[in-house]
Amino acid sequence: MQAVCNEITVAEIKNGIHVIIKRQPCRVLNIIKQNTGKHGFAKANIIGIGVLDAKIYKTALANHMYLPTFDLIQTDYQVIKIDGHKIEFTNNITSGEMIIPNPTIDIIKDMATAFNEGKSIIITVIKAPVERTPNNYIYREAIISFRCDDKKIIP
């Protein structure tokens, strides 16, 4: 699905907002604004953490330049099947599946163990745009957490 991003000037960026840095969706951790230099432009150093991969991304731009900004989409789903690398999930509105490239990650192991014990698992999935080419974004998803829930959200 094609993602849509708005633009914001570097001068307007504040800590905590979501922007695209080096083609990756990030939450701004720190922004250091500098005064005008000898060439007449005020600059800013921006440090962000990737919302999908938790890596640190840095960039330095002039205050009058623009960066893409987006709204992070967060949704809860009930897990209905775990089969190796594939997790199937649903909620009252939609259903889907996700291929996990590395199922040895602790969160996935813990979730599979709880699911195999017969517990109802609720996962939180975030969706954020990733830049494929300039001004062309697609959504990527990641599981950020799970919880065991005794009540069923699916009838």
Q: What per-residue confidence (pLDDT) applies to 29?
A: 97
Per the structure, the count of domains in the chain is 2
Query: Mean pLDDT per segment of 10 residues, for the chain of length 155 residues?
Result: 81 95 95 82 93 93 93 91 86 83 72 85 90 88 82 42
Q: What per-residue confidence (pLDDT) applies to 152?
A: 45
Q: What per-residue confidence (pLDDT) applies to 1?
A: 56
Mark whether 94 and 107 lie in a shared domain: yes
Mark whether 133 and 95 lie in a shared domain: yes
Q: What per-residue confidence (pLDDT) applies to 154?
A: 40
Residues in the chain: 155
Q: What per-residue confidence (pLDDT) applies to 151?
A: 52
**What is the b/e burial string over 105-130, where b = at least 16 CB atoms within 10 angstroms of the residue's CB?**
eeebeebbebbeeeebbbbebbbbbe
Mark whether 24 and 77 lie in a shared domain: no
d(CA 78, CA 11): 41
Q: What per-residue confidence (pLDDT) applies to 2?
A: 64
Q: Look up the domain containing 65 and give its range.
A: 2-69
What CATH number corresponds to the domain at position 125? 2.40.50.140
What CATH number corresponds to the domain at position 61? 2.30.30.30
Whole-structure pTM value: 0.80
Mark whether 84 and 41 lie in a shared domain: no
Mark whether 77 and 145 lie in a shared domain: yes
- Sheet containing strand 43-50, edge to edge, reads 6-9, 66-69, 18-21, 24-33, 43-50, 56-62
